[in-house]
């Protein structure tokens, strides 16, 4: 099965994010950085699950929740000074773009039960 555009975007965001997390202070490696990694990992998992499931709505809603949590963690990391302004801007923009793509997928899933 081909990769979805949103799956590629999530994967690209993860590559960017993992590199940015290396710069977090050691005290946050197993706290905030781990929470951010977990959110991104879960987002990729939910995307793959939604791609393969016949009924997608709940899984897509779970993906939306994870994306929202990620944005909150990123804002916190930025405000705490762990994430440089430019990195925050780029990473947040990626998350917003994923959110827009997800919104379209959710609309499609709500409109009919066929594959989005």
Q: Is 71 exposed, middle or buried (0-12, 13-18, 19+ CB in 10 A)?
A: middle
What is the Cα 3 distance to its own chain's centre?
16
Which whole number is the average pLDDT over 61-77?
97
Encode pLDDT of 6-29 as tens digits: 999 999 999 999 999 999 999 988
pLDDT of residue 8: 96
The DSSP secondary-structure symbol of 4 reads P
CA 65-21-45 angle, 5° bins: 35
Domains and CATH numbers, the chain: 5-110 (1.20.1440.60)
pLDDT band of residue 91 (cuts 50, 70, 90) is very high
**pLDDT over 70 for what percent of the chain?**
94
pLDDT at residue 109 is higher than 50: yes
CB atoms within 10 A of CB 4: 16
The more confidently predicted of residues 3 and 63 is 63
The Cα-based distances of 33 to 8, 15, 29, 40, 99 in angstroms read 22, 14, 5, 11, 21
Whole-angstrom distance, CA of residue 60 vs CA of residue 57: 5
């Amino acid at each position: 099965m081909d990769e979805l555009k949103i799956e590629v975007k999530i994967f690209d965001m993860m590559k960017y994010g993992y590199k940015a997390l290396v710069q977090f202070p050691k005290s946050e490696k197993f706290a905030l950085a781990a929470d951010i990694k977990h959110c991104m990992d879960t987002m990729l998992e939910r995307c793959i699950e939604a791609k393969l499931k016949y009924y997608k709505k709940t899984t897509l809603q779970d993906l939306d929740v994870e994306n929202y949590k990620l944005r909150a963690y990123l804002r916190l990391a930025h405000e705490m000074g762990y994430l440089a302004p430019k990195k925050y801007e780029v990473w947040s923009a990626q998350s917003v773009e994923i959110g827009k793509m997800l919104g379209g997928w959710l609309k499609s899933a709500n409109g009919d039960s066929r594959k989005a």
